[in-house]
Structures are given as structure tokens and as C-alpha cells.
Chain A
């Protein structure tokens, strides 16, 4: 029988999970290595709903390994690149997606971070700068001078490598 560990979410709720599943997280693994499985593991930066989603990923990848996603991306459609389950997994609201990225970064779960970031990259790929701002509701905080300078800096390069 596998050893269970207790994770404490941002809200203070306890989620019990088997040790093997959470060892994908470098952070949790190092905490277990340091303090053993007896002690609860506080994860103040991760909400319960996101933690559950992260654990769902960890359980799935154990049985269905995810191949590394090729960089740079060859397609703006993630389903062309990865299995359907993983594509569905990150087909979520932006808020959830970025929460997953932050959680994966904090917990140091590389495959999850790469998957979620690849999803964001597909949402950017092929779009104009204006469309990207619109997609992510980004306010243009660059001054006209800064924007002009950036465009000038990169224009020649972008044209040259076409």
C-alpha cells in the first residue's frame, strides 16, 4: 500500500494523496525528503481547486507519459501536437490556466508548466500584437516612444529572417 501525504491548500483544507503521485513536484519531493511523510505539507500559494487540478495531472501523467512538446511550436493547434486528454486538460478559462502555470512554477512540476505554457503560446501564435492584447486583455503600458523603439529594434530582424 502506498504512503499517503497530506497537502494543505491556500484555504487550509487538507488533501490526501499518495506519495508517488506528488513526487512529480520537485518542491514537495524535497519537503518529503527533508521532513518525511508524517508532517503535513503546507502549500500556501495554491488554492484547493488548482491543487486538485494539479493532482489530476500528476495522476494522469503517471499512466500516460507526455512527450516533450517540440520547440518552437509547429502548430497553433495543441491537439496536433499532444494527446487529446492533455489538450482538454488545459482548455480552461484563462484565469485557471495562469493559476495552473503559477502553481506548476511554484511546485516545480516541469511537464505541467511546459504543457500550460504551450497552451498559452498557441493562444499567441499567429496573432498580431493588437490581437494578443485583446486575447489576454492586456493594456498597452508602453509609451508611444517605447513602442516605436521596440518596433524599430525588431523590424529589421523580423524582416531579415523571413
Chain B
């Protein structure tokens, strides 16, 4: 019996149940024990399970294994962006990245978005540039300028990543110009260009120069900025157009909206199928106060909620501007709150409203407040990073809770940035139906979550829980111009050219150089000097300095 080895009776597949208890280092290390162990360590789902168990969000790339994706995320991106590595020569922590300086604009940059390797930017002269960061050399990029709008009044663009369409909105005071482009992204030549113009046209409406432009699903919403005194007649009207055709669908006097009334959209008028795009999963949206990275400048007195929705063929505008308060947090929103609202986001079945005091979670269908969480600090942003349905379904079914999405809250005053992150979970629970039969709200009822009917009975059991709260503060030395948060890091950009990046898990902070404080090779933004805006994506940080951009790519080999 000297050579008797009972573990060899177990197949690699069965042995993978043992390997599921290992971390990444152990999975690598024990591959060298024997052929059986090596074969087991090569089972790719172990790496998927590990990323789920460690709550690491990994975007598995086409053609790549889970192991490769895990290491790309944990080693390349996380090491470079969040944790850094020790330089053996200097003993200092270093963060690796490649930086592409984008100098395509003469005028100040007005709006910028980053989608993977594509950066879309709009300047004050109306030029829009598509800059594609090279995969091979992330310090290089190819730019394509859309010049049709030069010297005109482009106020905003909206890029839809799903169909690669770019909507450009012009506010020409007496009319609104709309132009929808189809972009072509060639990954081989690493370039983005305009492939065709889907439509181009005008709408004869008058808008304030400060009009807010939003796109939600298939709708373009143009509305007055509630933060500004509305003196002119034109600024009190909300316009809704079809994003796909440019047709004006509806105009709504916001005075009536302020009365918190339901507006019949004429759903019974068969000639106008305004809401044909809306189904039961109709959008609810917020307007007026969640300008990108501008929210920290909101006045304290702001307390508007505008939620547009469709229910049973009706279009509802809810605007809450009253000072009424109640002591019961659950009643606050339903009775209109008096708190300052900083951000509203709609995701799945819930509406999340961050005020200066609470994060409220509302049922998307009923508007009932499901719960309210006391916040620390002043929130600036609520962001959501849902796990895909497939991942959720793959989570072990004997857990008593399911993790459906990660929520990040950002807080800031003008000199500090803080954040809080937590996970939503769905508890498995039993309930009795009308016939007193026991039914289980189980994993397979996930569908119900997206339909917003998970909650049963008296509502005493909230279908989500709080996990892993984090709260940290970072003091910025000077005026903070811009903040952004993704599911791993928070970042803020200040007047003094300091860009701070904070790992949300550990609180570890580092900074990246945004350029010289003395020699300024860019046009300084008058109200946001220094780094005027910051955007972060999964692996990139984009800085705007007046009329130039710097894109830092952290997905580099180390």
C-alpha cells in the first residue's frame, strides 16, 4: 500500500470542486503537482468561478479564455490602474500606462465621451472629432473630424454604442437642427469615420441657449434648465423628438408639469402612435440636473425631480419641487421631498434617487419607495454596474442571496471626493400565495426582478441588501473641477492639475500627471482652469484640459 494514492481515483472534473476553493495563486501553483492537477487547473470555468467569488467584474473578450481575461483584468488593468506595483530599483509604487495626447481642437472642448478605444469630442466652434486610440500603440490615435457644423451651434451629441449612431443636436435659437450619422469603426485600420447620414433636418422650435439635451432610448428630450430662472416663454416647454427620424413628437408646457399631473398623450388618437416604442419596460428618466460631471456645481436649493414615464399609454411627468417633509423616509418621495436631488438613475426595476441626505430606491412601476439609505457627505453621482443575466444565473444556487448589481455613489463638495459602493442582492425567501401555498422566490424568479414584482406581501422584506460598504475621503488641494467613478476606481480632477485616482476597494490613492502647472500648452477653460473634465472607462482615464485631451490607457503589459 506504499504507493496507494486515493486522490487519483477522482477525475479532473470532480477534482475541480476542490480547486474552486483555491485563489489565483494556488490555482497556478498546484498545476505543477501532477498531470491530474495540471489538467484540473486548466478547466476554464474555475477562473470564471474565481472572478465571481471574488466579485471581480471581467469582460471576457472574444477568443480569450476566462483565465486570460482574469489575468488581463487583475494583472494588467488592476495593477496599472488601481494597485500599482513596487519598482525594485526605487522601491516606489509605480502605475503603468500609455498616454495619447489628442490635439484636434482649437476651441475649448464642450463635450467628450469615451467608448472603448473611441473618443468623441465636441468643441465650442461646433467641430466634432472621432479619435480612435490604437490597440497596438495606445500613445497613437487616428482622428476624423466632422466639419459640417463648424461655426454653427452644436449643443450636444449623443452616441449610441449599440448601433454606432451619432446624433448631433444644434440649437440655432429659432430652430433646432438634428443630424443622425451612422459611424463606421474599422478595427483593422483602427479608425472611426462617418459612413452615412441617416437624416438631417430642422425643427421649428425655440430653445434657450442653456437648454438641456438628453437622449433616452429612442427619444430626444429638449428641456429647460430648471436651475436657471425661467423668464422667457420658450424656456418653459419640454420637447420630445424621435431620435431615429428627427420628428417632433410632443411639446409639453412645464408649468403643467410642475403641477405633478398626468398628461394624456393622445394614446386614444389612433393617428398618433407616439409611444409605439414604449413597452411595459418603458423608460423613466430624469432631466434637468444630472449633467455629466457638472453636478457638483448644483445649487443647494435645487430640489426638482422630473421623471418621465409611460404607463398604460399615458405620458407622465412628475416634478417635485415642494418643501414638504415627513419623518418617515418611506413616505418622502411619494409625498414630494424637500431634499436636494443630485442624481437619478433608472436601472432594471428600480429608480435610484440620490439626495443630499438619502439614497432612495423606488419601484420603477409604482414609484413606491422600497428603502432609503442614509448617506454620508453630499452625493454627486450614482452609477450602476449590473452583472449580466448569464452571470447571475451561473451563481451557485444554494446561496441565500443573489448579487445583481453593484452600485457606486460618489460624494463631493468642491474640495473633496468620497464614495460608497454596495451590492444589491436578492434573498431567497418563501411566501404564501392566496391559496396559502408556499411559493419560493428563488433564483429562477430572477425575471421578476426586471419586471419589478419581486416584492411580495406587506413589503416588509426588501428584495435587496447592503454589502461591503466603503466610505473614504480624499482631500483635494484645490478646487475640484470634475469627478467620475467606475466599478473599480473613483477619480477627481482639480484646478491645480492634480488628477487623483482612488481604488474603491482599498482606498489607496495615486495621482497621474496632467501636465505642467507652469507651461500651459492649451487654452485654459475660463470657469474650470486646469483639468476641466475627467472621464473614466474600464481601463482608460480621459482628461480634458481646455482644448486638448489626454487619454491614459492602463491596459498595458507589465
Contacts and interface: CB of A to CB of B under 8 A. Distances in A.
Interface of A: 68-73, 94-95, 97-99, 101-102, 105, 110-111, 113-114, 117-118, 120-122, 124-125, 129, 132-133, 136-142, 146-147, 150-151, 153-154, 157-158, 160-162
B18 A124 contact: yes
B466 interface: no
B31 interface: yes
B17 A113 contact: yes
B311 interface: no
A117 B398 CA distance: 16
Given A68-B399, A154-B28, A160 B79 contact: yes
B6, B24, B36, B400: most-surrounded residue (chain A CB, <10 A): B6
Contact of B50 (A72, A98, A129, A162): A72
B7, B26, B33, B74: most-surrounded residue (chain A CB, <10 A): B33
B30 A129 contact: yes
B34 interface: yes
B35 interface: yes
B29 interface: yes
Interface stretch (B8-16, B91-99, B118-126, B509-517): B8-16
Contacts of A154: 28-29, 31-32
Contact of B14 (A68, A69, A71, A105): A105
Given A124-B18, A150-B31, A157 B24 contact: yes
B170 to A, nearest CB: 50
B74 to A, nearest CB: 6
Contacts of A160: 71, 75, 79, 558
A113 B18 CA distance: 9
B54 interface: yes
A101 B19 CA distance: 13
Interface in B1-56: 3-10, 14, 17-26, 28-38, 49-50, 53-54
A67 B3 CA distance: 36
| Chain B contact residues, majority secondary structure | helix
B230 interface: no
A162 B25 contact: yes
Contacts of B400: 68
B164 to A, nearest CB: 35
Contacts of B53: 70-72
B374 interface: no
Contacts of B3: 137, 139
Nearest to B5: A137
Given A68-B399, A117-B18, A125-B22, A161 B74 contact: yes
Contacts of B26: 72, 124-125
B32 A161 contact: no
A136 B34 CA distance: 11
Given A72-B50, A102-B9, A111-B398, A138 B34 contact: yes
Given A139-B3, A141-B34, A157 B75 contact: yes
Contact of B33 (A71, A73, A99, A132): A132
A161 B49 CA distance: 17
B17 A68 contact: no
Contacts of B36: 138
B456 interface: no
B396 interface: yes
Given A71-B21, A117-B17, A121-B18, A157 B7 contact: no
Interface of B: 3-10, 14, 17-26, 28-38, 49-50, 53-54, 71, 74-75, 79, 396, 398-400, 558
A137 B398 CA distance: 33
B7 A138 contact: yes
A68 B71 contact: no
Given A113-B17, A121-B21, A129-B32, A71 B49 contact: yes
Contacts of B34: 133, 138-142
Contacts of B37: 132, 138
23 contacts: A70-B53, A71-B50, A73-B21, A94-B7, A95-B4, A98-B7, A102-B10, A102-B14, A105-B17, A113-B17, A121-B19, A129-B30, A136-B5, A136-B7, A137-B3, A146-B38, A150-B31, A151-B32, A158-B29, A160-B71, A160-B75, A160-B79, A160-B558
B426 to A, nearest CB: 16
Given A72-B54, A161-B75, A132 B30 contact: yes
A92 to B, nearest CB: 11
Contact of A142 (B32, B79, B398): B32
A125 B25 CA distance: 11
Given A101-B14, A121-B18, A162-B25, A139 B5 contact: yes
Contacts of A142: 32, 34-35, 38
Given A98-B6, A98-B9, A157 B71 contact: yes
Nearest to B74: A161
The list of the 8 closest CB pairs from A to B, nearest first, reads A121-B21, A154-B28, A117-B17, A72-B23, A98-B6, A117-B18, A73-B21, A71-B53
Given A114-B17, A117-B21, A157-B28, 17 more contacts: A68-B396, A68-B398, A71-B20, A72-B22, A72-B23, A94-B6, A105-B14, A124-B26, A129-B29, A138-B8, A138-B33, A138-B34, A142-B34, A151-B32, A158-B25, A161-B24, A161-B71
A57 to B, nearest CB: 15
Nearest to A73: B21
B25 A118 contact: no
A138 B71 CA distance: 29
A68, A129, A146: most-surrounded residue (chain B CB, <10 A): A129
A98 B15 CA distance: 10
Contacts of B33: 129, 132-133, 138, 140
Contacts of B20: 71-72, 117
Contact of B21 (A69, A94, A102, A138): A69
A154 B67 CA distance: 11
